[in-house]
Amino acid sequence: MIARATTGDQYLLGVGKADITGPVVELNFMGYASLGQIGTGLRQRLYSRAFIIGSVTNPKDRFVYLVIDTAMGDTAIRYGILQGLANLGSGYSMYNQSNVAVTGTHQHSGPGAWLNYLLPQVTSLGFSKQSYQAIVDGSVLSIQRAHQSLAPGTLSYADTNITDANINRSLYAYLQNPAEERAKYDATVDTTLTMLRFKRASDGLNTGVLCWHSVHGTSMLENNTHVTGDNKGVSSYLFEEAMKSDQSAAPGFVAAFSQSSVGDTSPNVLGTWCDATGAQCDFEHSTCGGTTQDCHGHGPEYQKLDLGVASCYEIGRRVYAGAKTLYDNFDSQATAITDPSVRFYHFFNDMQWYSFPLPNGTVVQTCPAAMGRSFAGGTTDGPGAFDFVQGDNSSMAQNPFWTVVSDLLTTPTQEQVDCQYPKPILLDVGQMHEPYDWTPNIVDIQSFRVGQLIMIISPSEATTMTGRRWKAAVAEAATSKSIVTSTPKVVLGGPANTYAHYATTPEEYNVQRYEGASTLYGQWESYAYIHLSTSSIGYLAAGAGQPAQGTLPPNNVNNSLSFIAGVVYDNPHLFTSFGDVLTQPKASYSIGDVVSASFVGANPRNNLRLEGTFAAVQQQVNGNWATVRDDHDWHLEYTWVRDDSLLGSSHVVISWETESYTTAGTYRIVYNGDAKAPITGKISAFTGTSSTFTVS
């Protein structure tokens, strides 16, 4: 018999959530690396969700697991969070380099320009302090709130399978793994959702759930320009909304859906198709007529042609539905966390020429970071440009032009070419250091343990089989070294702490699809991660110390380039004032209609309104106006439009897609803005309010 959720040791538990939404307009999005994907508004605010687990007897034995609605964890962001925690004083001194994990949900529809290294800064035109600071400050605030909520409680976990929310977008590469290994698994992607439930001891209420599930945050398409948390943002939103009326949940319940073995997953579950012909894309290379641009993955609602909005909501809903069913039946199938020890470790490892033994004893090495040609081919979630394709492991360039361009940046040494083989190197980023490092060579190696639950914190996007091998190896090491007192449960979270792109198996690497081309440190990278985790497993033993820190990576916050123009000034249209209504809503609507109003606007970069809202729907209740929708609601969309750059005029459109659960009544739309005055630069807040309308 397995232990059930009604038993288990007590831990010090805390949860917290805070807004991290950066500039929603005039800034390139992070994820697709598409120059044209510049923000024009907001569909859903972004959040940091913090979970603290600690020992009830030793205050220093605790860790923080952050799930932030960004494309990935990052070195600069993590440095900023650690400094922010240090600035809070001695009461937060137990949070440090060793025990804070910063994981990203991997959404591709949020503001960019906050990463530490040059390569991802290229399409965002450099670094934005405003974008960076929003993430750092909100993450720190979420940890503060989790810290302030710390109380004794119990933990338990359970699994469920969600089979309709992800597929393998690089199936050709996955099939290169040994047949006998693939035969151990029912699916070509990891369909498991693992839920860790936080239950407060004082009143028996649940304060949060931390879930791990693997699906790319690419439901919102490359041409979407409204900020969202993508499908994981939807899952969290739906779960947290449901908990507001659930008697088992404490007020302020936090639900996070951490990314896991995401590398080769896709939410576009209907497969890949050629736009022009309707035929399926080429299986090996994901091309149509020899190029990638026409090959796209289809989400479940792709036919709506809405930039992925409906598909995103549906994938998020499917994951939420599976998680909610598990939650509702949790006590009948969950395993309690036992063993009161809470452990963690963290160190930095330089992946340049790192030598280590494989499980069979053969000594191999990793390489300085490099991107292969198929990196530029993109994926079926977001195809690349020019004439790059996936599955290019040829030493002969498809177009010699790119060899010349690559060599202008840096020419790989023969040692690097040999080390990265069979990857044809497009960008030798690990050996490009001007004007500062293009990509990390130093990565974070980190793991947490509470009782028999071990959390691997991955700096890379692990593919399905990489994740399976990694978790199995850590479980075996934990058992053989008697780290745990019962059968270990191992989960993997990432991309975290720094962004080291992908981690494929050597078999997948050899065919050099996008994921293999983006496996920075050569074909043995995934085994290096496994070796570093298993050889460090002793640090997770009760009473163990910490490893040597290793060489710190650079912090490029204060020396990053930026070509991002600031807000010069705002002016209203002639004969109007800020907040004036340009287009009123109709007098009445039916449930299911879209209500919209437009206002004389100002640039939302003047004030991010963190923990607040740009848009609101208010309902008349007993003669008073109550806000019933705001920026955190999926179905309320805020769009900003620049009308005249010289005059500084703009307008805002707020659209409410009334939901099936909308209550009949009288409503109005409210717009909150902030205008920057010419000459003085003074920023002043204003509010616009529409006329009333009814919904029935």
DSSP H or E stretch at residue 444: strand 442-450
Cβ–Cβ under 8 Å, residues 106 and 581: no
What is the length of the chain? 696
With a CB cutoff of 8 Å and minimum separation 6, the contacts of 404 are none
What CA–CA distance (Å, rounded) separates 377 from 588?
49
With a CB cutoff of 8 Å and minimum separation 6, the contacts of 152 are 10, 11, 12, 13, 56, 200, 201, 202
* Residue 67 DSSP one-character state: E
φ, ψ at 195 (rounded to 5°): -115, 130
What CA–CA distance (Å, rounded) separates 541 from 481?
9
Question: How far does CA 226 lie from the centroid of its chain?
Answer: 16
Q: How far is CA 25 from CA 206, 583, 608, in A?
A: 37, 22, 10
Crossing angle (nearest 10°) for helices 309-328 and 230-243: 40
Q: How far is CA 616 from CA 244, 392, 436, 587, 656, in A?
A: 19, 49, 43, 18, 9
Percent of the chain that is helix, strand, coil (3-state, to 5): 20, 30, 45
What CA–CA distance (Å, rounded) separates 613 from 44?
10
The one-letter amino acid at 99: N
With a CB cutoff of 8 Å and minimum separation 6, the contacts of 417 are 425
What CA–CA distance (Å, rounded) separates 123 from 555?
20
First to last CA, the chain: 54
What CA–CA distance (Å, rounded) separates 176 from 189?
14
Question: How far does CA 260 lie from the centroid of its chain?
Answer: 10
What CA–CA distance (Å, rounded) separates 116 from 73?
10
Q: How far is CA 201 from CA 11, 247, 339, in A?
A: 9, 16, 17
- The answer to whether residue 266 is catalytic is yes
What CA–CA distance (Å, rounded) separates 30 from 105?
12
Cβ–Cβ under 8 Å, residues 671 and 685: no
* Nearest to 50, CA basis, from 64, 32, 60: 64
Q: What are 38's strand-pairing partners?
A: 28
- Catalytic-role residue among 235, 258, 260, 266: 266
Three-state secondary structure call for residue 8: coil
* Residue 189 DSSP one-character state: S
Q: What are 493's strand-pairing partners?
A: 457
Hey, what are 342's tokens?
Answer: 């809470």
Three-state secondary structure call for residue 404: helix
Compute, in degrees rounded to 10, the torsion defined by CA atoms 556, 90, 130, 100: 60
* Residue 534 DSSP one-character state: H
Place of tokens 């949070």: 95
Crossing angle (nearest 10°) for helices 75-87 and 129-148: 50
Produce one character per residue of 232-262: b if its CB has 16 or more CB atoms within 10 Å, e if not: bbbbbbbbbbbbeebeebbeebbbbbbbbbb
Catalytically annotated residues:
266
